[in-house]
């Protein structure tokens, strides 16, 4: 059983994950999801083994067919003999904290395949289209030896573009018939995509969407890579091998041009910064409720104290708390 009497050490977990133990992998992902410190400790052990997988992000509006496409992408990669790890993120209900994680059901056909691992994840309050544990999970899957790590974001609107912070290649999925209110350029997604899939190409209007996208992309300034636009039908798999080839071409281009390491480093730095900021934010929040402060609120409210001086005071209080 995985809940051993003796608590396992991070090195043990790491070893099991690296050796392809599915249960250990699944449990360490749970540590990450649940903010259990053990998760990070395991990641420390495994970081040196990461960097080998091609991480592909799939994003796009709700119901665009991201999961259905993933199902077919897995098939294409498997037929190339590659192994695939998947992280699929769905929104957590802000009211109940619960979630129905509905992506897996579209890929459930792969469940018996030893070369595929699929993990569903609720956002648990994160706003960027991914969960807080997503990045760590990608690293785990990478360290566990999967050739490809596919990440499905929640159905995104305009600002949930965290996917660019985690993926080597971002596939933006769009569909015909979204209406004028969700114009592609407005969604800001042309800037984040490395490959575009116009899915549901069996429905009317897909050609037009593709043309519009092409025109928009023509306006962009592409140094080494001009994002291609691929028409797909997830239901039949039409266009999927082309889509996968485009993602693979993007990756090799990054490698050839020496941009992959650059991109990854930038990503790692940004993630680091975010973690630090988050850490500081939490510390500040922890003194936020202190008594001393609450007296100052009254002063602020009565305009006896200005917010800028208050800022200095809070900052000092935090630093003081730190140095103790």
Ligand X SMILES: Nc1nc2c(ncn2[C@@H]2O[C@H](COP(=O)(O)OP(=O)(O)OP(=O)(O)O)[C@@H](O)[C@H]2O)c(=O)[nH]1
30 binds, among ligand X, Mg ion, another protein, none (CB under 5 to 8 A by kind): another protein
Q: Is residue 199 within the footprint of ligand X (CB under 6 A)?
A: yes
Q: Is residue 235 within the footprint of another protein (CB under 8 A)?
A: yes
Q: Is residue 76 within the footprint of ligand X (CB under 6 A)?
A: no
To the nearest whole angstrom, how small is the minimum distance from the Cβ of residue 156 to ligand X? 8
Closest CA to 74 of 121, 107, 103, 120: 107
159 binds, among ligand X, another protein, Mg ion, none (CB under 5 to 8 A by kind): none
Q: Is residue 234 within the footprint of ligand X (CB under 6 A)?
A: yes
Radius of gyration, CA atoms only, the chain: 22
Tokens, residue 36: 């259990």
Q: Which stretch binds Mg ion (CB under 5 A): 10-18, 24-32, 61-69, 294-302?
A: 61-69
- Dihedral of alpha carbons 6, 7, 12, 13, sign: positive
To the nearest whole angstrom, how small is the minimum distance from the Cβ of residue 178 to ligand X? 12
Question: Taking CB under 5 A as the criterion, which residues in 90-109 touch Mg ion?
Answer: 103
The span from the CA of 246 to the CA of 170, in Å, is 11
Q: Give how far Cα 156 sits from Cα of 70, 72, 123, 150, Å.
A: 16, 21, 12, 17
Beta 229-231 vs 84-90: how paired, if at all? unpaired
Q: Give how far Cα 157 sits from Cα of 64, 174, 184, 244, 277, Å.
A: 12, 12, 10, 24, 25
Q: Which stretch binds Mg ion (CB under 5 A): 60-68, 169-177, 204-212, 217-225?
A: 60-68
7 binds, among Mg ion, another protein, ligand X, none (CB under 5 to 8 A by kind): none
List 67, 139, 153, 248, residue binding Mg ion (CB under 5 A): 67
Element (H, E) at 122: strand 116-122
Closest CA to 76 of 195, 243, 230: 243
Q: Is residue 34 within the footprint of another protein (CB under 8 A)?
A: yes
Q: Are 13 and 136 in contact (CB under 8 A)?
A: no
- Dihedral of alpha carbons 262, 264, 266, 268, sign: negative
Compute how many other C-beta atoms are within 10 angstroms of the C-beta atom of residue 317. Answer: 17
Closer of 235 and 277 to ligand X (Cβ): 235
Q: Residues in the site for ligand X, rule: CB under 6 A?
A: 62-68, 103, 106, 155, 199-200, 202-203, 233-235
Q: Residues in the site for Mg ion, rule: CB under 5 A?
A: 66-67, 103
Q: Residues in the site for another protein, rule: CB under 8 A?
A: 1-3, 22-23, 26-27, 29-30, 33-34, 63, 68, 92-93, 96-102, 104-106, 108, 111-112, 117-120, 122, 124, 203, 235
């Amino acid at each position: 059983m995985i809940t051993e009497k003796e608590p396992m050490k991070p090195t043990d977990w790491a070893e099991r994950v690296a050796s392809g133990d599915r249960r250990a992998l699944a449990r360490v992902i749970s540590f990450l999801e649940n903010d259990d410190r053990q998760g990070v400790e395991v990641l420390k052990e495994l970081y040196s083994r990461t960097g080998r997988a091609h991480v592909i992000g799939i994003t796009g509006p709700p119901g665009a067919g991201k999961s259905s496409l993933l199902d077919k992408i897995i098939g294409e990669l498997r037929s190339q003999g590659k192994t695939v790890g998947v992280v699929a993120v769905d929104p957590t209900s802000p009211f109940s904290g619960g979630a129905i994680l509905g992506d897996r059901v579209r890929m459930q056909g792969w469940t018996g395949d030893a070369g595929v691992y699929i993990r569903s994840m609720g956002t648990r309050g994160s706003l960027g289209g991914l969960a807080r544990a997503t990045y760590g999970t990608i690293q785990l899957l990478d360290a566990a030896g999967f050739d490809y790590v596919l990440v499905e974001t929640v159905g995104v609107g305009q600002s949930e573009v965290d996917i660019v912070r985690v993926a080597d290649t971002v596939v933006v999925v769009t569909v015909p018939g979204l209406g004028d209110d969700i114009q592609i350029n407005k969604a800001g997604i042309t800037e984040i995509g490395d490959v575009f899939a116009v899915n549901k190409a069996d429905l009317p209007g897909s050609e037009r969407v593709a043309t519009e996208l092409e025109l928009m992309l023509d306006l962009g300034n592409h140094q080494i890579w001009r994002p291609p636009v691929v028409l797909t039908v997830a239901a039949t798999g039409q266009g999927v091998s082309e889509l996968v080839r485009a993602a693979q071409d993007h990756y090799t281009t990054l490698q050839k041009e020496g941009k992959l390491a650059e991109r990854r480093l930038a990503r790692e730095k940004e993630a680091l910064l975010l973690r630090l900021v988050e850490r500081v934010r939490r510390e500040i929040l922890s003194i936020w409720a202190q008594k001393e402060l609450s007296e100052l609120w009254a002063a602020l409210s009565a305009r006896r104290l200005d917010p800028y001086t208050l800022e200095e005071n809070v900052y000092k209080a935090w630093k003081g708390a730190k140095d103790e």
